[in-house]
Every structure is written in structure tokens, then in C-alpha cells.
Structure 1
Amino acid sequence: MTEGGRVTRNNRDIRDRLMWRLVALMLIVLVGWLTVLLFQQVGEREAAEEELARMQAEREAAPEAPAPAARPRALGLSTFGIRQLEQAGLGDDPEQGLLDDLQGRPDLIPEEPVLGGTHYFVAEEMAVLNDHWVYAVFEDGHIRGAAIFAFEVDGDGAIRWEAVLSRVEG
């Protein structure tokens, strides 16, 4: 109680105790709130780590896709080359005309046959590479090889061949 406007010692002790209890209660609430926040962050971190581990496991389990290879220009004669060869007299299918002509010229094969064999071109393994080159596989019954031939066509349809590169398989 008050004595002449003064707070007695008993009232001051009660007020001090209430103040300390309020401070303690505020500290407990603050610590509780911080604990909840901490557990939320820990949970979120664990979830993120689990997701990362799952993604890494999927990545390791999945076969690696090969990098797409650079696509070469299509083999064969260009439209311009076809037109030129048709005008030069190689007919409606100049590509086949080139292959047929080369196949009939085994004397152009730059390698010597062995054990009395006779060279010939393997028709299924010949290809016109472009407007200037033909790839052809040859054999003589004992050895097998491949060659690249350059060609030029005269205005009258005559084809000149030159063996540029050849290799016999071991």
C-alpha cells in the first residue's frame, strides 16, 4: 500500500516480481519462436539435400546421351552436278552411269592382284561421294581393298578416271 503517496516495500516487490516474470515469459516465447524457425530451416535444408541427392542419383542412373555428331553433307551428286552430267551425256541417272563405268574398268585398280587372282569392283560397296569423287571397294578373291577415284566427264560423255588414294586390307 501507499503511505503518503509512497509505494510500500511489499508493493514494490510484487511489481518487480511481475516485471521479471514478464521478461522471463518474453524470453521463453522468443526462444520458442526461434526454435520453431530453426527447425523449419533445418527441415527445408534436409528436404533440399534429399531432392539434390535424388536428382544426382537419377542423373547417374540415366545413360549419358551421346553428343549429337556433326552431320555431314549428304553423299552423292549435287543437283548442279546431276544437271551437268546429264548434259554431258550420262543419261537420266548419271550417278549409276558413273558407277557402271567404273565397275567396267578393273584396270584402274592401283593394286596388284595376288596368287593369280583377278581384281574386280564390289558393286554393293561403291558410292559416288560428290561431284568429283567415287569410293569403291575391290578384291581379287584373296585380298580386299578400297580406293577413291577422281573423275571428269567430257562433253561427249567420256569419263576420265584417276585413282587418288587406295588401301589394301591387311
Structure 2
Amino acid sequence: MNDKRSSANNPRDPQQIRERLVWRAAVVMLLAITGWLSFVAFDAQQRADELEAELAAHEDREGLLTRFGLSTEAVRRFEVAGIEALPEQYLLEDLQERDEWLADQAARLKGPLVIDTERSAVLSDHWVFATVETETGGGSALLAYELSDAGELSWELLAYAADGE
């Protein structure tokens, strides 16, 4: 027993030296792994920040390109004028009722025409892009409109292009 106690307290005992080396190697490995993981995490965070900035810049550009439709102020003007229908729907229906006027304005259109509401769009508070179909063909029209305080719409044909031109 004395031998075991003396070897346990002996700092030069080969078994103790091995145990201390194993523990020190384990600590060094843990420190190395922790350092490596910290570096990877820092690099990943940096890349994530760059991607977020790039995405925000892209969304700003995309927002400028896809901002079609009526502004909140224009929707309020329709409400104040007493128009209960959805403003976009109201505009396209009013334009459809003016089919003869539009045919006269676009001189090349003959016969009854129909506004294809699925392919037409209210672009802004003052412009509408309308797809027009007739018995002899069709085309696209760019129109300006103005809403009076009384809820009356006035239209102006800005451009018309027949299909195939």
C-alpha cells in the first residue's frame, strides 16, 4: 500500500504524467475547437449582415418598380365622393360603359369592344392600362382619368396600340 500512495503522490510517476498530458491535450483541443467555432460564427454573422443589407437594397428597388395601384389618398377621394365599390373595379366598369367613346377615340376600333378586366390594371391615381378586345382584334390603351369631388370621372386616351403593331 505504501507503494501505491507513494506513486500517487510522486509527480514523476509515468501513469500520472500520461493522465496529466491527456487532460492538458483535451483542454488544448477544447480551446482550439472553441476558437475555431467562434471564428466560424463571427464569419457567418458577417455574411448574414451583408446578405441582409443586400436584400434590403433589393427590396427598396423592387418596391419602386412594383408600386402600382391607388394610393391611400386616392382611395379616400373615392370614399368621399360616395363611391362604395372598390375603386379599381369602379374605374374599369366606368371605362367599360364608355366603350363607344373609347372606340371613337381609338379610331381603328370597329364594332363593340370589351375591356378585359383580368389583363387591365389601375397603374396610379391618374392612369389606367386597359386591354381592349373587339370582334376584329384588340389592343392596349393607356388612359388618364380624373375624379371630380362629385364622383364624376373624366377620361382621356393617351395612347392606343393594336395587337400586332
TM-score normalised by structure 2 residue count: 0.55
Match of 2:101 in 1: 108
Q: CA deviation at 1:92?
A: 4.8
Secondary structure at the aligned position of 1:166 is classed as: strand
Larger radius of gyration: 1
What are the equivalent positions in structure 2 for 1:72-87 lying under 5 Å apart? 72-87=65-80
RMSD of aligned C-alpha atoms? 1.9
Q: 1:118 to 1:92 in 2, by over 3 A?
A: closer
Quote the Cα distance in structure 1 between the aligned partners of 2:66 and 2:78. 20
Quote the Cα distance in structure 2 between the aligned partners of 1:107 and 1:98. 16
Match of 2:115 in 1: 121
Secondary structure at the aligned position of 1:86 is classed as: helix
Q: Which amino acid aligns with 1:155?
A: D
Match of 1:163 in 2: 157
Q: CA deviation at 1:99?
A: 1.3
Q: Which amino acid aligns with 1:113?
A: L
Secondary structure at the aligned position of 2:151 is classed as: coil
Match of 1:152 in 2: 146
Question: In structure 2, which of residues 77, 89, 104 is the aligned counterpart of residue 96 of structure 1?
Answer: 89
Match of 2:27 in 1: none
Structure that is richer in helix per residue: 2
Runs of 4+ in 1 over 6 A off after TM superposition: none
Deviation track 1:82-104 (CA, whole Å, cap 9, x = no partner) reads 11121122225222111111111
Gaps of at least 5 residues in structure 1 are 1-67
Quote the Cα distance in structure 2 between the aligned partners of 1:100 and 1:84. 18
Q: CA deviation at 1:108?
A: 3.2
Q: Which amino acid aligns with 2:144?
A: A
Q: Which amino acid aligns with 1:121?
A: I
What are the equivalent positions in structure 2 for 1:16-35 lying under 5 Å apart? none
Question: Are 2:100 and 2:112, in contact at CA under 8 Å, matched by a contact in 1?
Answer: no
Q: Which amino acid aligns with 2:77?
A: Q
Quote the Cα distance in structure 2 between the aligned partners of 1:127 and 1:138. 12
TM-score normalised by structure 1 residue count: 0.54
Aligned residues: 101
Match of 2:25 in 1: none
Match of 1:142 in 2: 136
Q: 1:104 to 1:92 in 2, by over 3 A?
A: closer
